[in-house]
Amino acid sequence: MASRPQSIRNLSWAVVRDGAARRHVYRREVDIHLKDSKITEITPAGARPSGPGEEVIDGTGMLALPGLINIHSHPSTEPGYRGVREDHGVPEQQMTGLMERLQAFRLGNDGRQAAATLAYSEMMRAGTTMACDVTVPFDGWLETMAQSGMRFYAAPTFASARWGMSAPQTVTWKWDEARGLAEFETAKRVMDDAEAHNSRRLDAMVFPAQIDTVTPALFAAGRQHADESGRGFSTHICQSVVEVREMIRRHNMTPIQWAAANGLMKSDTVLAHCILLDDHPQIRWHTSKDLDLIAESGASVAHCPQPFARYGLAMDHVGRYRARGVNVGLGTDCAPHNLIEEMRLAIVAGRLMSEDIRSLDTAGAFEAATFAGAAALGRDDIGALAPGMMADIVLVDINHPLMQPARDPLRSFVFHAADRAVRTVLVDGEVVLAEGEPVHLDPKAAMETLAEAQARMIRDAPKIDYAQRAGDQISPLSLGMSSGD
């Protein structure tokens, strides 16, 4: 039976909302009171005695944080690339390995469900309580989400084309518009099912897959559906030099300029990645207006620094986007699905690109993972600890060695301890992670299934790769194998 405490007592520290402001502040020695899935009051510790039979979590030695919000992730596929993608890239494609992997590797549905189980467990261990899950839908997807106890936005993708290759330097687009329309109809049914789910923790987002793989007509249909249904709208955009150059070839304008000209960017739009703007050092198009177009539209950006840093690519720079008024939230995109690590890397990459320590600090990164994520999803009931907010709460062990000394526990959490110090996670006031372990999921069983599915994926690569290469040739092991002699 799910544990639903009525209060968390004697917290050593808490990060709470500063009145009605979009700002977090510290409080010391407090109790958090809960009722009907919400926070009712935050009081000085011991100010209100426990009632008879009241279920209490002892917060002694704990830091309470609002649950983190991951606005872009691929949990059902990316754990299957663990040990495959970390060093994989194609120099002829400006180092990205995205197109080569997707045309060569396919994870079966059994592996995808196992991957989702592992990823959702990892998300909770890293303090995430809400995530946007972007995938081609498969049987059991919504049920696995609901079983985790987390909040989710299901984002079933649809596309008119798939990437292919004819040589390392040549990406192709394989068009099948009828298939794209059929996928859109499936996506609409899945979104309806998510919103009707009896868990009451699933929502939906309209997600045409990539700016370069969806026809203008299908993009228009997706945008219209978002407008009519009141659902958010998102797509992958400005994520590779290959994509940007292809959109310029087709339309003589950048992906952002094309999206703006076609009415895709509105206040409910989440632009996934959005790194390679017209003035980015790896693009340097003759215009310099993409950032202004994003800001003027009110669209949000889902910043996922880790997968791109692996290719030697970074946003230029996160502080510039925020200063221009763009709402920048955070996502994990790939494994590890650890939003704390993304906060840390967003800070470091922003400073490296700007050569300025002021590009992003700890408070700004935490705001991106909370307030900004909530705003991107049109939510005002998550992302902060305050009366009236949903009881999505993370408890961090202040006494973990990597949290000590606890002069500034949020900095210690982001830069040092990360998920290693997360002990308890509540969603809607229900404990979904206890003593660092998921309450409702079985990640150990999923590990074996995923390992078998990954082995099949690697073995079957020659059947679908454009050059019939072995999976171990596309992504060799990091070290050679010894014969033992």
Q: C-alpha 341: how far from its chain's center?
A: 12
pLDDT single digits (tens) 123-140: 999 999 999 999 999 999
The pair of three-digit structure tokens given for residue 424, joined into one six-digit string: 């308890």
Q: Which whole number is the average pLDDT over 96-110?
A: 96
Q: Which whole number is the average pLDDT over 249-265?
A: 98
Q: Which whole number is the average pLDDT over 202-212?
A: 98
Cα(382)–Cα(373) distance, rounded to whole angstroms?
A: 9
pLDDT single digits (tens) 222-246: 999 999 999 999 999 999 999 999 9
Cis? peptide before 336, omega within 30° of 0: yes
The confidence band for 14, taking pLDDT boundaries of 50, 70 and 90, is very high
Percent of the chain predicted with pLDDT > 90: 97
The pair of three-digit structure tokens given for residue 338, joined into one six-digit string: 């650890």
Q: Which helix (H) or strand (E) is 294 found in, with range? A: helix 290-297
Q: Where are the alpha helices (DSSP H) in 30-107?
A: 98-104
Among residues 28, 33, 35, 63, which one has the least CA distance to residue 48? Answer: 33
Taking phi over 0 as left and psi of -120 to 50 as alpha, with beta for the rest, 352 belongs to: alpha
Among residues 120, 167, 129, which one has the least CA distance to residue 148? Answer: 120
Q: Which phi and psi angles does 224 have, rounded to 5°?
A: -65, -40
Among residues 168, 138, 170, which one has the least CA distance to residue 156? Answer: 138
pLDDT single digits (tens) 402-454: 999 999 999 999 999 999 999 999 999 999 999 999 999 999 999 999 999 99
The confidence band for 1, taking pLDDT boundaries of 50, 70 and 90, is low
pLDDT over 90 at 2, yes or no: no
pLDDT over 90 at 90, yes or no: yes
